[in-house]
Amino acid sequence: MQVTLKGNKLIIEMNLNEPKLSASGRNFTVATSKGPWESSVEIGGKPVTVVVNAFIAADEPPQTGDDQDDEDLDPAAKTKSRKGGTK
């Protein structure tokens, strides 16, 4: 990753990676600094720290488990089960 200052703009350049499914399963990470990264750019004598996470949305929501049926996904069904339903 390269960070530069051009006038009043902070320019961040980094390579794109092959999309990798995130831990949450909700998106694909295509570029990341993997946490805070101290650049060589200084403002007021202090280094600028950068955090970058670039991603694209996953097409489908993550699966929460094979044992979950459609009724488990219905909030109304969950409410009924808390009130002494059969579930």
| Residue 1 vs residues 24, 30, 58, 65: alpha-carbon distances, Å | 25, 13, 25, 37
The average confidence (pLDDT) of the chain is 78
If one compares 70 and 20, the residue with the highest pLDDT of the two is 20
Predicted local distance difference test score (pLDDT) of residue 25: 87
Q: pTM of the predicted model, to two decimals? A: 0.59
Predicted local distance difference test score (pLDDT) of residue 62: 55
Q: Residues 43-70: what's their mean pLDDT? A: 78
β pairing state of 2-6 and 9-13: antiparallel
| Residue environment code for 29-66, b if the CB has 16+ CB neighbours within 10 A, otherwise e | beebbeeebebebeeeeeebebeeeeeeeeeeeeeeee
